[in-house]
Structure 1
């Protein structure tokens, strides 16, 4: 029976889906038993990363070489195989708009792998519906105008410390990506969790290790039955890291709770952790979140907050280094508005050139791929019928 089940799930169903899509004009690389196209994807990525890239080269072939190759070969819309799961790739604007609009909630967020779930949990990025709305509301409350105004002094202090360090290294090469990683770690730890840089840095270091493990396993195929009987070294390591991250987060949470209970402070606080704790202790069960949700949101914010801001800052610096004219325009604007003063929110809102540079960087770097979606029922995209 196990063999029949294996052949049904990993041969019959994929071949049936492939035939159905091919008959509608949606082509793609042929399905390979069990592994799908994962081995091809791994080889393409290794080959792409082995080559040097110029400062002005198109990054898409390097970051997603499989999508680049198959789009040129099969057209704007094609299907490929992540193991035994068919993944339809679309790049026509109207179809992308249709999927993202998702008015009937047919397309759901793609769930993390077992390894990804171990270290990140089911936070805001991956939840849906009413639960998403409740958690999103918490994030919005944390980062409204007045809250950001209160965070500004801490952010300025962290940036000043970094710049003073840079001044002492004049003429030397600085690894800005690493510097921005330290900066974002410190800012997030202080402003969102009220914890020390040292506490936050240990969590970030473990999240970095977890990210490497997840990226190494993105194109690996797992058969459910075998995965239950035998755990890979990466899965065991991810479980160990997940437990360590959870333990450290719980210490930060407990420390904040104890201060409120012992009367050292009047409330849990107005930062992100404080709002999470207020909802966790809410007397109304409908508004309350679980301890698991609280920890998942802390993990999500630590990871997503650092990774996105860190990468954005590094890309902005790179683009300004390439385009010295825009670097000079941005510098003149900052000097005109602030002079010798420290930045403040009112002035930051007037930085039109800097805002444009940030938006253009986001457009160039983050526009190459939309978030993946899952479909669990029969539906259509454009003229194509998808049967699950």
Structure 2
């Protein structure tokens, strides 16, 4: 018996020592090796701190920045990225900071960012998502390597130009409903005040429901409502994401996220099965995103075998991504477009004059929209100053050289689009000013590669960028033709960055009929 207790004690000691060594390696030795390797090559940054690096400081600075609105200015970096601004002010444009136990190198120069987005894709990979992120951003956004290539190939046809033209009537229907609603709000009054942020959220949700699911858009609207709730829950969960195993705890909010995901997947699975059954029976499918996706997927399966096709679960994930990527970004772009055109009425009038000259009283069509120069310049400048996605992240999957520095596997790279879009070395001393004229000769002449990335860049550039731009331009055209608008005295300028950059307190606008 005494010998048995000795063995048990020895085993406990060995296990405890193994755990201690593993924790020491994870929380101290490995981070310090990273720090030494970076500093030895001339990089500077914050010192590593137990147990989660700079997370608490990041949260505290963001909390302070979001505590109150800012002056009516486009110099928004101190509010939306105070921590990264502080790090670069102290340590330079290519500095590193710590989120948990791996360093994050901030690449605030277009050349390095473009290299990360376009070169050695097998070495610069997307970081692993946590549980809540996987619910919100699945599919093409999360996949890597061969799976990403397969999904991109199958989804691409849904966003070809000829398919987008077929979706224009659905865009127009949603625009007409929005214009009609705003006209009723004014009714016999001189003007009406409304928060355009939820208005555009409902509009873009309706657009994606109609264009993704065609005749099943009522079910699509239910998915939109559920996904909206999921976004808010994920944002709340992100505050606690650094608590170990938090996402796996049986909290009320974690359970609700799982319930939403189950309901969304059930609706989508039923829709997919019905559509596939109709295809097998030779019934015509509508020209919506789901129909095009399934047709391409079936063709891939017939030509290359089942390994070349997506599973039903894969299709479900891509449909879920349609909602987040397909309406959140466009909502933000339209919201900021009305805010900025209200702040700069001279550009609002120039854009309206162009719209009236181009279309008069006729219905906007694709060819006419593609010829709009000023409206396009305005949208590009809006997305330069208020990009929907402020940052993107990559992780070194293997040792990789960038410039004169060799980075070990595990280093993260922050691609700070919000900083690149305001870099005075690229955009000039007026980089924080609203000046659509800088895009008069197009994007290529306005900046260098890697300096303007509202839809990211390289092979993983947003597949829906043309969809989003067409939708936004059509909606803006219809609004400009029917209404003049200005900021309400109730508007508080407070851009903030949670998933997508949006106005923290809404976007209150006064609208008047033209």
Question: By the TM > 0.5 criterion, same fold?
Answer: yes
Instruction: Give the match's secondary structure for 1:169.
Output: helix
**What pairs with 1:36-115 in structure 2 (closer than 5 Å)?**
36-103=53-120, 105-115=122-132
Q: 1:117 aligns with which of 120, 128, 134?
A: 134
Deviation at 1:37, TM superposition (A): 1.2
Partner deviation per Cα, 1:268-325 (whole Å, 9 max, x = no partner): 4432211322344433224311122111111111110011111111111111111111
1:332 and 2:349 are equivalent in the alignment: no
Q: For the structure 1 residues 222 and 231, does the alpha-carbon distance in structure 2 shift closer, same or farther, using more than 3 Å as the test?
A: farther
Give the structure 2 partner of residue 383 of structure 1. 404
1:140 and 2:156 are equivalent in the alignment: yes
Deviation at 1:326, TM superposition (A): 0.9
Decide which structure has greater strand share: 2
Contact 1:380–1:386 (8 Å) recurs in 2 = yes
1:166 and 2:166 are equivalent in the alignment: no
Partner deviation per Cα, 1:114-137 (whole Å, 9 max, x = no partner): 21113432x112223343333223
Structure 1 consecutive aligned stretches of length 4 or more whose deviation exceeds 6 Å: none
**What pairs with 1:316-327 in structure 2 (closer than 5 Å)?**
316-327=337-348
Deviation at 1:55, TM superposition (A): 2.7
Give the structure 2 partner of residue 214 of structure 1. 234
Give the structure 2 partner of residue 202 of structure 1. 222
Contact 1:119–1:238 (8 Å) recurs in 2 = no
Deviation at 1:149, TM superposition (A): 2.0
- In the alignment, the residues of structure 1 paired with residue 79 and residue 170 of structure 2 have an alpha-carbon distance, to the nearest angstrom, of 37
Deviation at 1:3, TM superposition (A): 2.8
Q: Which stretch has the larger CA shift, 147-156 or 112-121? A: 112-121
Q: Which stretch has the larger CA shift, 367-376 or 65-74? A: 367-376
Contact 1:37–1:82 (8 Å) recurs in 2 = yes
Contact 2:74–2:385 (8 Å) recurs in 1 = no
1:363 and 2:381 are equivalent in the alignment: no
Contact 1:34–1:221 (8 Å) recurs in 2 = no
1:242 and 2:261 are equivalent in the alignment: yes
Partner deviation per Cα, 1:353-372 (whole Å, 9 max, x = no partner): 11111111122222984521
Instruction: Give the match's secondary structure for 1:124.
Output: helix
Partner deviation per Cα, 1:317-339 (whole Å, 9 max, x = no partner): 11111111111111111111111
Partner deviation per Cα, 1:190-238 (whole Å, 9 max, x = no partner): 1122154442232222222322333334463254xx5698555554433
Q: Which stretch has the larger CA shift, 162-171 or 25-34? A: 25-34
Give the structure 1 partner of residue 47 of structure 2. 30
* TM-score relative to the length of structure 1: 0.91
- In the alignment, the residues of structure 2 paired with residue 268 and residue 160 of structure 1 have an alpha-carbon distance, to the nearest angstrom, of 25
Ranked by relative contact order (alpha carbons within 8 Å, sequence separation 6 or more), the top structure is 2
- In the alignment, the residues of structure 2 paired with residue 138 and residue 40 of structure 1 have an alpha-carbon distance, to the nearest angstrom, of 43
Give the structure 2 partner of residue 193 of structure 1. 213
Q: For the structure 1 residues 323 and 267, does the alpha-carbon distance in structure 2 shift closer, same or farther, using more than 3 Å as the test?
A: same
Q: For the structure 1 residues 204 and 340, does the alpha-carbon distance in structure 2 shift closer, same or farther, using more than 3 Å as the test?
A: same
- In the alignment, the residues of structure 1 paired with residue 80 and residue 366 of structure 2 have an alpha-carbon distance, to the nearest angstrom, of 36
Instruction: Give the match's secondary structure for 1:297.
Output: helix
Deviation at 1:17, TM superposition (A): 1.1
Q: For the structure 1 residues 82 and 216, does the alpha-carbon distance in structure 2 shift closer, same or farther, using more than 3 Å as the test?
A: farther
Q: For the structure 1 residues 386 and 235, does the alpha-carbon distance in structure 2 shift closer, same or farther, using more than 3 Å as the test?
A: farther
- In the alignment, the residues of structure 2 paired with residue 228 and residue 92 of structure 1 have an alpha-carbon distance, to the nearest angstrom, of 35
Q: For the structure 1 residues 69 and 368, does the alpha-carbon distance in structure 2 shift closer, same or farther, using more than 3 Å as the test?
A: farther
Give the structure 2 partner of residue 176 of structure 1. 196
- In the alignment, the residues of structure 2 paired with residue 371 and residue 228 of structure 1 have an alpha-carbon distance, to the nearest angstrom, of 22
- In the alignment, the residues of structure 1 paired with residue 273 and residue 265 of structure 2 have an alpha-carbon distance, to the nearest angstrom, of 12
Deviation at 1:177, TM superposition (A): 1.0
Instruction: Give the match's secondary structure for 1:174.
Output: strand
Contact 1:108–1:374 (8 Å) recurs in 2 = yes
1:287 and 2:287 are equivalent in the alignment: no
Contact 1:138–1:276 (8 Å) recurs in 2 = yes
Contact 1:188–1:305 (8 Å) recurs in 2 = yes
* TM-score relative to the length of structure 2: 0.70
Q: Name which one, 1 or 2, has greater alpha-carbon Rg.
A: 2
- In the alignment, the residues of structure 2 paired with residue 382 and residue 206 of structure 1 have an alpha-carbon distance, to the nearest angstrom, of 45
Q: Which stretch has the larger CA shift, 231-240 or 69-78? A: 231-240
Aligned residues between the structures: 383
Deviation at 1:23, TM superposition (A): 2.7
- In the alignment, the residues of structure 1 paired with residue 90 and residue 388 of structure 2 have an alpha-carbon distance, to the nearest angstrom, of 21
Instruction: List runs of 5+ in structure 2 lacking aligned partners.
Output: 1-17, 410-514
**What pairs with 1:217-228 in structure 2 (closer than 5 Å)?**
217-218=237-238, 220-223=241-244
Q: For the structure 1 residues 191 and 51, does the alpha-carbon distance in structure 2 shift closer, same or farther, using more than 3 Å as the test?
A: same
How big is the alpha-carbon RMSD for the aligned residues of Structure 1 and Structure 2?
Answer: 2.3
